[in-house]
Structure 1
């Protein structure tokens, strides 16, 4: 009698159930994974180099296994051996939202991030080996315009592997703004959907209503007033804000509510930042407050710090809290960040694909 391996059994079941499945490369804390799960897609695994993401990822995304690994060193056969993933599975989705610091317009050392520049090409190797039915990619807009971008090589490889191009409608990509998809945030991102199946794909339809900061975090029953440095040790809420120096609190006290900027105290020698003297038209968002009735600026990994952007609360003399940042990123209110470190939680939130946008993409594929 022929013996069947565990992988053979799993494969036979999956060929019959007709349920879309996914592997989320560079998964971080699970924003993309969570959105796909909301869309009814079974996420098998998430891969990420950051061990601090594991507990948050697995706690909130039941059934998805966190694989703490460097994709550049992960054997191509890993998912076949560990999860029974088969090649040429029409119901499989590979997601590749690789780190994007090198292509970001934010001023930072490109030498430090250079080693992550080509991660998309390592993701490509897994695509070539497994040839899943669908490919999803999210990145910063700069991946389309940077002179050192590897995007064109990646797109050419997708076409070569049978995933099509814009002309035949089986590969679509563009720079989109999350505020047009129900996320209360000005967040421009490159987004790609591709398939090797005989169907056309498209990006999600935009919404008519643009959500604001007030609609999102203005409810004081959900987001009660807190002070800078006040810690909420109920991990399910995590409505905690970073501590500020007395000088920065005084600066916020002198910054008008609802969109005020550091220019309000530019002539006060005791408050003005020395590096900005004479530079009233540069970096005007730093130390500024959010507007109540507009979307927030891009929630970055530094959103806890008022010196890194317009991250001051619209009315309170503090920066955004962990829970406020997560909600502006469209994480469900019950999504728990399993760490006591504010900086770790902020990194997981700022690096994430907004789950609501991920859900919309998943629903399109699942039509």
Structure 2
């Protein structure tokens, strides 16, 4: 089995994607409730519930010694918090001082110690516009303009990063994210790995790492959810056989709004004007968030599942045909978690119980399992190919 570390593991979406491919020898999650969900699915023996900044080098060295021995780390998974980089952040400047953004640099401490063969990094697409990400790229690549190491005591990586849509990788959801992958450089110089900048200051790789999974277009939302055969719900109802299949109640006016929203993709622009269902703020010019109070469409992909995905008032989270918002189960399935995956909304809570808001946050912040799986399968394949290439050639048979 290959070995991996999962930093900022959250509820465990990428660890789930690693099943059968990589043994997660250590996972790090700061939030205790979210860590409870991780533990329900992946165990707690390898889980550090701790601020990554407070994990000392001595502890990392001990993990390396006891869980890897002389074996190399095959993969480092790093999915740091994205809120500070989001386009919806109140701090719009690419140089904003959101402390969460500095967590990206913590990845380098682990990289420099373990020197993993591959790196998988995921964040919002807007991270590309931030100076701290540019610094991260420079330090991770660790090569000069000629392709030689800048710092001799640190590993160097040939990188590739692209903005992808999860719908192109098996997830029935339009979700734009930046994926960065890296492979440790063993032979120098490597001028292909140099970080360059466009005239607008956007970083790019001289010649990106020639490794990337093939696209795997997802089925549309209706086709994807059909196989799970979820029973219909009314607003505020919970499925008696699946407590995660639960949706929020709606006020009388919101019930009236969704009943007047056409099925499969209708929006607030479709409301009859004589019913006065619109909000005053929506009548102003240049008001954005047109998806608010909208329905999903079975014949299309879901919008991005966010932490507010259970609220009809926070986006296009109305059910395609039923007069309600989507349920936690539907949100988890759209994020491509298996139906067997367990969540909890409270510290050491029971399966699929506790705060719905906490569970929605875990689901919305997760890396979609099928998206991560495509990349992890590619890493696994590349590791196997490298192993075959390193095998000594067989001696030719000599006839006697």
* TM interval, short-chain normalised: 0.7 to 0.9
Q: CA-to-partner distance for each residue in 1:296-321, whole Å, 9 max, x for gaps?
A: 01111110011111110001111110
Stretch moving more, 120-129 or 288-297: 120-129
| d(CA) in 1 for partners of 2:342, 2:274 | 42
Give, in angstroms, the shift of residue 268 of structure 1.
Answer: 3.8
Residue 337, structure 1, aligned to residue 318, structure 2: no
Pairwise mapping of residues 345-360 of structure 1 onto structure 2 (< 5 A)? 345-360=359-374
Structure 1: give runs of 5+ residues left out of the alignment. 1-18, 165-169
Contact 2:233/2:239 (8 A) holds in 1: no
1:205 paired residue number: 214
Q: Structure 1 residue aligned with 2:378, among 361, 364, 367?
A: 364
Residue 125, structure 1, aligned to residue 97, structure 2: no
| d(CA) in 1 for partners of 2:343, 2:138 | 38
- Structure 1 245/202 Cα, relative in aligned 2: closer, same or farther at 3 Å? same
Residue 57, structure 1, aligned to residue 41, structure 2: no
| d(CA) in 2 for partners of 1:295, 1:163 | 38
Pairwise mapping of residues 321-336 of structure 1 onto structure 2 (< 5 A)? 321-336=327-342
Contact 2:236/2:249 (8 A) holds in 1: yes
Q: Tell me how large the CA RMSD over aligned residues is.
A: 2.4
Pairwise mapping of residues 171-182 of structure 1 onto structure 2 (< 5 A)? 171-182=159-170
Contact 1:177/1:188 (8 A) holds in 2: yes
| d(CA) in 1 for partners of 2:98, 2:113 | 25
1:189 paired residue number: 177
Residue 242, structure 1, aligned to residue 226, structure 2: no
Give, in angstroms, the shift of residue 158 of structure 1.
Answer: 1.4
Contact 1:44/1:64 (8 A) holds in 2: no
Structure 2: give runs of 5+ residues left out of the alignment. 143-153, 188-208, 346-352, 382-400
1:258 paired residue number: 264
Pairwise mapping of residues 23-62 of structure 1 onto structure 2 (< 5 A)? 23-38=5-20, 40-62=21-43
1:8 paired residue number: none
Contact 1:87/1:132 (8 A) holds in 2: no
Contact 2:12/2:366 (8 A) holds in 1: yes
Q: CA-to-partner distance for each residue in 1:31-66, whole Å, 9 max, x for gaps?
A: 01110124x210122211110112221222257632
Q: Aligned to 2:18, what secondary structure does the other structure show?
A: helix
Q: Structure 2 residue aligned with 1:139, among 109, 123, 127?
A: 123
Q: CA-to-partner distance for each residue in 1:148-199, whole Å, 9 max, x for gaps?
A: 43111111111224433xxxxx321111111001110100111011121559
Give, in angstroms, the shift of residue 85 of structure 1.
Answer: 4.6
Give, in angstroms, the shift of residue 108 of structure 1.
Answer: 4.1
Contact 1:193/1:201 (8 A) holds in 2: no
Contact 1:44/1:63 (8 A) holds in 2: no
Q: Choose 1 or 2 for highest CA Rg.
A: 2
TM-score, reference length from structure 2: 0.78
Residue correspondences, number = 338
| d(CA) in 2 for partners of 1:348, 1:195 | 29
Stretch moving more, 294-303 or 277-286: 277-286
1:6 paired residue number: none
Contact 1:287/1:310 (8 A) holds in 2: yes
| d(CA) in 2 for partners of 1:334, 1:302 | 23
Q: Structure 2 residue aligned with 1:293, among 293, 299, 320?
A: 299
Q: Structure 1 residue aligned with 2:237, among 230, 233, 245?
A: 230
1:13 paired residue number: none
Contact 1:22/1:45 (8 A) holds in 2: yes
| d(CA) in 2 for partners of 1:41, 1:129 | 19
Give, in angstroms, the shift of residue 324 of structure 1.
Answer: 0.4
| d(CA) in 1 for partners of 2:77, 2:89 | 27
Q: Structure 2 residue aligned with 1:150, among 132, 140, 146?
A: 132
| d(CA) in 1 for partners of 2:97, 2:327 | 27
